[in-house]
Amino acid sequence: MVKLYRKTGSAGPLIETDKMAERTWIYVEAPDAEEIEMLRDRWDLDAGHIQDALDPYEVPRFETEGEAAYIFTRVPEQLDDSFTTTPVLFILTRRFIVTVVSRRIELFDQFLSGTLVLSGTKPATVFLRLFGEVINRYSTYIVRINKRVVSLAAVSGDGIRNRDIIALVSYEYILNDWLNAIVQTNAFLRNLADPRSGIFVNKLEREKVEDLLLATGQLIALSKSSLLHAKNFRDASQTILTNTLNRVIKFFTTLTIVMTIPTIIASFYGMNVRLPRANSDTVFIEILLGTLGLMAGLLVLFLRKNWL
């Protein structure tokens, strides 16, 4: 799907149009081979880069082809209770901006519907607004994940469950994945902020790029802090589970040893040999009391040695 959008003014709404003009936003969603060929032929866009944007494992990077800058990034999303990222390609030229996505993304839907305001009409300004919102999404979702980790730690006093450990491992994986994406984004933003790149020639635009660079730097620190917090809590939870398991094993080991005593004594009287006081009427009570005494003595010993 390929759609064209324009703004009637700097503060006006986005309007879908059929005619290409200066300062148009070309929105491309899950393009087929025919649409990719049309984008290449009509606007001289690189078909290979557009194909790369449809790869779910594409990583953030920045390349230039002719007068166009191809900026790959990943947009974070929350789907029900899970978090994920989707690759997005921004193609920035002096005349228009192109966004390429493999599927529908809530972020762009909010801009297209007017829920989020797209200020400015210049392609560079539009890109900075869109990309700034991507950075904001990362910040929002990382804080949200951090709160979930804290909530898991708060209820850990009621007992660590296997699903809590699974949730922590999942959050660690997400944070690691996002951290890699943000680090790569921070790297190419440094290139964009360089005046020699020729992408942002306006001083105000370069300042906004530097703001984005600073924001990604803060996100890197926040991601590392959240990742460390999740890892520390997971390690503590595993230690608690291991300690609980060891206590259970010690308890049943002690129980096995104690319960072996009456079995051993009873086996002596099961042998076909003469035993002391075999004909006594009170020998059963004596054996029973002696056995209970030995069991109690072992229990006291284990308790004093802290083996139980």
Cα(246)–Cα(106) distance, rounded to whole angstroms?
48
CA atoms within 13 A on the CB side of 298: 16
pLDDT at position 198: 65
Cα(218)–Cα(138) distance, rounded to whole angstroms?
11
pLDDT at position 28: 92
- pLDDT tens figures, 228-263: 888 888 787 777 778 878 888 888 888 888 888 888
Task: State the Cα torsion 225-229-230-234 to the nearest 10°.
Answer: 150
**3-class SS string, 223-290:** HHHHHHHHHHHHHHHHHHHHHHHHHHHHHHHHHHHHHHHHHHHHHHCCCCCCCCCCCCCCHHHHHHHH
- pLDDT tens figures, 40-67: 888 888 889 999 999 999 888 888 888 8
pLDDT at position 179: 92
- What are the 10-residue block averages of pLDDT along the chain, 308 residues in total? 78 74 85 90 88 90 86 88 89 89 87 75 84 91 88 66 80 90 88 71 80 91 88 79 82 84 79 72 81 85 76
| Cβ pair 104, 140 in contact under 8 A | no
User: Which residue type, as a one-letter code, is found at position 52?
Assistant: D
pLDDT at position 12: 64
| Cβ pair 137, 88 in contact under 8 A | no
What phi and psi, each to the nearest 5 degrees, are found at residue 23?
60, 45
- For residue 220, give the nearest of 135, 147, 131 by alpha carbon: 135
pLDDT at position 63: 87
pLDDT at position 159: 64
Cα 83 to chain center, whole Å? 6
Cα(243)–Cα(193) distance, rounded to whole angstroms?
52
Burial degree of 250 (CB within 10 A; 0-12, 13-18, 19+) = middle
pLDDT at position 139: 92
Q: What domains can be seen in the chain, in order of their start residue?
A: 2-242 (3.30.460.20), 245-304 (no CATH)
